[in-house]
Every structure is written in structure tokens, then in C-alpha cells.
Amino acid sequence: MSAPRRYRLTLTVVLALALLAALYVAVVRERKELGSRRVEIALDYQDFSALASSYGYDEEQFLISLRRAGLTSLAISEELGGNIDGGSTAALIPGQQLIAQAKLQPISEPTLAALARRNALSPSELYLVVFDEREVARYRAALREHLGPHAVRTLHASHPTILAIRSQIDYFNNLGLGLPRAQLALAGKVKLFVVPRVQNDERFGEPQIARVFAGFAHARPSTVVFFGQRNEVLGFPDHLDDTAAQFKKTGINFGSIETYDKIQVQKGNDGLAEKAIERTTRVQAISKTELDKLDFNTVVARYLLGVRERNVRVVYLRPFLHEQNGLSIEKTNVEMVRQIRDGLLARGFKLGRATPVPGFRINPVVIAIVSLAVPAILMLLLEAFGVRRPQTAYVAFGIDLLLVVAGYAAHHDLLVRKVLALGGAIGFATIAVAAIPRAFTQQPPDGYGESLLAGLRTLAVATLWSLGGALVVIGLVSTPLLMEEIDRFAGVKAVIVLPPIFAFVLYVYTRRFGNEPPDVRASALSPVRVYQLAILAILAGAAFVYISRSGNQSDVSPSAFEIALRSNLTAVLGVRPRFKEFVIGFPLMMLLPTLRLEHKRLVGWLFAIGIAIGTSDIVDTFSHLHTPLVASFTRIANGAVIGIAIGALAIALYRAIDARTVAAVSRRRSRAA
């Protein structure tokens, strides 16, 4: 065996072993994802109660109808001090107000009246009159937790209980006073789980945090979702460990709210999730302002999409305030829950207490083997262009393993794995184009069937190399932190930008694709023509749109037509394929072998860029670690089917137009002769 073949075979064997290790990680991850298929449908009680009161609905019967439709949980928020007067359990009266009232007319409540007569009312105190004896303990305990035991005095112990509180009204209004007993009882009566919504107090330490959890332990809690004006998780900033310990001890889930704006992320969210990742689950909610602008079907589709494609396991509902198909508001909301339930069950999910992604850790040896794919693909890419240097390969493999070992030794292994995964993603997406040189250089097939088969072969080769890159990304950075999107795979923009640039450079300045490369220096010194500037401007504009449109929240909003097309594709296919794959990448892979050689030389560079856009997007699809593997594979498969259909049509059109063109040229030559 010759040295070049032995070199290539060695690299191929190493690459195969690395991909097998990555496949093992993918299987482990898929099993973990299959163990996280239970979804919670929760309803915000505060907004629900406001709706029921506005329309005169019976809350209990309404909730029973919702539970029968699929509702699993009721989200109950801590009662804030400022909301006390809105209920019937208690009343809050500032001391200054009582003093002024006593000067105008006698106070009817005996205890307060006696204080007024003795001038014992204090303007610096607040007076809480509790009418529901069952809530006295909650108020007293919560106030002492926040303000200290000496800030709360009991003026009258029997019904109605009166507490004197030393605090300012503005501060008191924002205090969380625990979950109202009546609301918890209602949830228990209609057999719903409780989603406790509590807010942070920076002075709380381990004892106070433990008592917060104990306060709702009896109420079938499922997932805690924090709230508050300062938008902080409980225990922020100094006691996240204590909060995480309570989640682990009690088995209650921590709900990490999905956001698209970093400003909206709760303070301490990522730190708490990292410490309690095995109890962390994703929560999807739609704000009341946005909900009012959306139609019924869009709301249902958005929640189903979140569960299916973004690992959301808590669907957090607010009442929908628009009638649907002649139904009342009550029945419209019941129907929305029913459609969400039916959509989830049809896709293989279950309803109940949300299940986070189970924790798992891949053996470092397996990670090291997977990482060998990165230098292997780099060396194979260089070998494809005639660069064979075994010494360089040894150094590359050595550096790769040293990086992995150093990462684990310094407890920054995930950072190293991200860097290596990025290199592997770019390398595989680029070699996917370099692996199809015959499509650029061979004569076109004679018949349509042969052209179709040649296109399918080209698509299969490029796609398989791209999926190799996806497998390396999966093998290196599949962790619960990234799957719950607490941490993110940085460099996704580079994955979709660099391979098309590399493909263009390799096409123009190497002989692999059948053209004579220009001299770099001569190219730099040659004059720039107007048409070249025009082409450059068009490419720059296209590149800007291409980069801006990437990511979940693109800088350029899609048109109404595109939004409608996306919605229809999702409804028909379940998982919507990406436009860059089925409109650009796959059709160009199919069409390329059919082009005549002169046409390939003319637009080959453009095809190299377009195909690289498709291959990089395949890898990028799997770079979104929060999307389950089944959904990502389904997306690629759907895109390939549509892309093949578009490519087959493009082949037929090209052959028809080319045949007419050839016939017309032949007729002109005959007339000229």
C-alpha cells in the first residue's frame, strides 16, 4: 500500500472511531430525551380569577372543565402586601390614616378605638386586620421572615386578629406574604398540581428558604416559577446553593422561563439552574400584551412548537380573551387547553408533573475519542487538496488530546468541547463541498433518469458528510445545561458563515473543482470592473440578509408570506424544514451534475457557495442543543424530501431550456451555412 493511501486510510479509521463514539453519545442523549416526555399545562390563577369575576363564571366548575380538557396545574402567586385590600381575608390600614380617621369620627373596631383614645396609634406602623383565622399564621410567619420578629406585634389575638407592623407602606406593598390558603385549597379540590410563584428576598438564608418551600410542601407542588419586581430567583445573589439544595431535597422542579431578550432573564436563573440542573425544566409563557394580539390557532401552535422543538415542559397559560368560532370565552379557553392536550398526545407526549431532562455525564475518555474527529477532518480536508504531512497530523492529534485533558483538569471541559465542536462543525460543512468534485467536473448525464440519480448521489454524499459534523457536535456538547438552554453553543454564526466563504476560496484558488486557479497576486493587481462591483454588491446584500436572518430571533423580520408558509409547513409536516436547506442547498446539489461543463465553469462558484450554505445549515440544525434529536433529524428529512422534489423539477426545467437553446443555435447555424 502506498504512503498516501496508508495516510488516508489511517485518518479515515480514526475518524470512523470518533464518529462511532459520537453515535454512542447520541444514543445516550436520545434515551434521556425519551425519559423527559411529560408536560405540564399550567394556568395563571390571578388572571384566571380576574376573568371569572368579570364574566361571573364559577371558578370551581370552570377549573373542573379545564382539568377535564387537559389542564394539570394551577399557578398560584404569593399574595403581595399591596394586594391585601383586594381580597376578603384581611385589611391593611396605615397608622397615619387611622389617626386622621379617629379625629373625624369614632373608630368602630374596639381594639383600634381603644388605641385611638389613648393616643397609642403610631403613624410609623401599619395595622393589619385579619378576618380569616386560618390565614393568621401565614401572615404572622411571612411578616416575621421579612421584617424580623420584633417588627410585628399582636394587638388582638382573637377574631379578628390585629397585627401592628413596623414598616413603610411602599416597602410593605412589595412583600411576599405566602400562598393564599383558599387558592391552594381550590387547587386541591379540583385535583390540580400547584405551580408556586414566590419572589426573592435578598436577606433570606438557608432557614428562611427552607421555610418557603415548607410553606407549600403540602399542596402537591410541581414546578416553582419565580416572579417579582426585581425579577430574581429565590436565593439571589448569595444563597443559590441553599435554594438548589431545596429543589433537590424536595424533588420539586425549578421552572426556567424561556426568553428571547437577555434583559428579561431572571437574575440568578442560570446560576441556580446549573446548580440544580437535574430539577430544572423549561417554561414557556406568552405575555398578556402579546397574547391579546395573537389568534387562537397561533397560540396553540406556538405552545406545541415550544414543547416539540425547544424542550419546553411547562406550558404556562393565561386566559385567552377572544371568542373562537362562536364559543363563549369560557368554552374558548377550555377548547384551547383541549387542543394543546390533543396536540401533545398525538406527538407522543404525556400530561402530568413536568419531567426535566435527566442528568447524565459522558465518560471523559469517550469525549476524548469524539474530539479526535476534529483534527482528523482537518487533515482529510488538507489531504483532499494534496497536502499530506503525517508530522502535522501527529501534532494536531496531540494538541487535541492535550486540550481535552487540560479542560477537565481545569474544570472548564465544556469550554474546550465547545471550541472543538465549533471546529468540527466548520470542517465537516466545508469538506461536504470538497467531497463532491466530480459533480463540478464531469460531463452531464444523457437522460433525465441518469441526471436525477447523479443529483441524488451528490446530495447523499454532501449530506452524509454534513451529518458527520452534526454527530461531532452532538457527541461533544450534549449536556443537560445546553439541552435546557441554560448554557449555549457559542459560534453558531461562524458555522453558517465560514463554510460558504471557505467553499468559495477553495473553488476559485484550487484545481479540485476543475478550473485553473488564478494567481493571487495577479488577481489583487488586476483592475476592478463595473460588473464585478455590481456582483460584489449583490453578494454583500445577500450575505447581510443571510447572516441577519440566522438564529431564533433574527434581526430582519420575515414577511407575512413567509410566516404563513412557515405555519403551513409546520401544520403539514409537524417539523418545519429550513429554507436554506430545501430552497438553496438540496436543490443545488441535485441540479449541479446536470449542468453542461461551460455552465459549470460559469456559475460553479455560486453553486459551491449555495451548497455550502446547505451543508452548514444541516450542521447548524443540530447545534441548537435544546431541540430534541428526533425533531432535528425530522427537520433534515423533511427538507431533503422537499429539496429533492424542487431539484427534480429544476433538472427537468434546465434540460428543457437547454435542449431548446441547443436546437435554436443549431437552426441558426444551418441558416447561416
Is 566 within the bounds of a domain?
A: yes
Residue 115 has pLDDT above 90, yes or no: no
Picking from 126, 148, 173, the residue at the C-terminal end of a domain is 173
| Cα–Cα–Cα angle for 571, 573, 579, rounded to 5 degrees | 100
Q: Are 632 and 619 in contact (CB under 8 A)?
A: no
pLDDT at 86: 81
Does 491 fall in a domain?
Answer: no
Kindly report, residue by residue over 450-459, the tens digit of the pLDDT: 999 999 999 9
| Three-state secondary-structure class, residue 569 | helix
Tell me the pLDDT tens digit for each residue of 456-490: 999 999 999 999 999 999 999 999 999 998 888 87
Give the pLDDT band (50/70/90) at residue 113.
confident
Res. 161: pLDDT tops 60: yes
pLDDT at residue 548, rounded to an integer: 60
Are 606 and 463 in a shared domain?
Answer: yes
Work out the average pLDDT over 389-398.
Answer: 91
The answer to whether the beta carbons of residues 428 and 422 sit under 8 Å apart is: no
Q: What is the pLDDT of residue 58?
A: 95
The answer to whether residues 57 and 165 belong to one domain is no
What is the model's pLDDT at position 547?
Answer: 62
Mean pLDDT, residues 366-393:
92
Q: Is the pLDDT of residue 136 over 70?
A: yes
Say if 403 falls within a structural domain.
Answer: yes
pLDDT > 80? residue 128: yes
Parallel/antiparallel/unpaired status of strands 125-130 and 161-166: antiparallel
- Rounded mean pLDDT, 255-269: 88
Please give the pLDDT value at position 669.
74
CATH code for position 52: 3.20.20.150
Strands 73-77 and 193-197: parallel
Give residue 346's pLDDT: 93
Last residue of a domain, one of 126, 156, 173: 173
Report pLDDT digits (tens) over 50-60: 999 999 999 99
- pLDDT > 90: percent of the chain: 72
Per the CB < 8 A criterion, the answer to whether 432 and 467 are in contact is no
Q: Do 203 and 153 reside in the same domain of the chain?
A: no
Give the model confidence (pLDDT) of 510-524 as tens digits.
989 888 777 666 666
Residue 162's SS3 state is strand
Cα 553 from Cα 315, distance rounded (Å): 20
Residue 15 has a pLDDT of 96
Over residues 631-660, mean pLDDT: 94
The stretches of 105-168 forming alpha helices (DSSP H) are: 110-117, 136-147
**Mean local confidence (pLDDT), 502-511:** 91
Instruction: Indicate the pLDDT class of residue 528, thresholds 50, 70 and 90.
Output: low
Q: Is the pLDDT of residue 145 over 60?
A: yes
The closest of 281, 267, 278 to 238, measured between CA atoms, is: 267
Per-residue pLDDT averaged across 227-235, rounded?
92
- Using the predicted structure, report yes or no on whether residue 341 has a pLDDT greater than 90: yes
Which residue among 351, 370, 404 closes a domain?
A: 351
- Residues 590, 457 share a domain: yes
Say if residue 249 is in the same domain as residue 338.
yes
The average confidence (pLDDT) of the chain is: 90
**Is residue 583 a part of any domain in this protein?**
yes
Residue-level pLDDT at 451 = 95
324: which DSSP letter? Answer: -
The DSSP secondary-structure symbol of 267 reads B
Question: Would you give the DSSP letter of residue 105?
Answer: S
Instruction: Say if residue 625 is in the same domain as residue 655.
Output: yes
One domain for residues 243 and 365: no
Helix 413-434 with 390-409: angle, nearest 10 deg = 150
Q: Is residue 596 part of a domain?
A: yes
- 126: Cβ contacts below 8 Å, ≥ 6 apart: 92, 93, 94, 95, 164, 165, 166, 167, 169, 172
Residues 8 and 143 in one domain: no
Bridge partners of 476, per DSSP, are none
Q: Who contacts 45 (Cβ-Cβ below 8 Å, separation ≥6)?
A: 74, 75, 76, 77, 183, 187
pLDDT of 106: 84
**Predicted structure pTM score:** 0.87
Tens-digit pLDDT profile for residues 277-313: 999 999 999 999 999 999 999 999 999 999 999 999 9
Domain identity same for 264 and 346: yes
CB 575 within 8 A of CB 640: no
CA distance linking residue 425 with residue 403, whole number of Å: 17
Considering the domain architecture, whether residues 120 and 193 belong to the same structural domain is answered as no
Domain interval for residue 118: 104-173
The pLDDT, as a whole number, for residue 263 is 81
Residue 529 lies in a domain: no
Cβ-in-10-Å burial (0-12, 13-18, 19+) of 601 comes to middle
Residue that wins the pLDDT comparison between 564 and 48: 48
pLDDT tens column, 426-445: 999 999 999 999 999 999 99
The predicted structure's pLDDT at residue 386 = 82
In a domain, 525, yes or no: no
Residue 562: its pLDDT value, please? Answer: 66
**Residue 570 within any structural domain of the chain:** yes
pLDDT confidence of 558, banded at 50, 70, 90? Answer: low
- Band (666; pLDDT cuts 50, 70, 90): confident
In this structure, the answer to whether residues 287 and 202 fall within a common structural domain is yes
What is the pLDDT at residue 440? 94
Q: What is the mean pLDDT of residues 641-659?
A: 94
Mean local confidence (pLDDT), 337-342: 97
Quick one: pLDDT band at residue 199, thresholds 50, 70, 90? very high
Number of domains into which the chain is organized = 3
Task: From 210, 154, 219, select the one nearest 187 (Cα to Cα).
Answer: 219
Q: Average pLDDT in the 150-173 region?
A: 91
Per-residue pLDDT for 556 more than 60? no
Residue positions counted in the chain: 673
Residues 131 and 212 in one domain: no
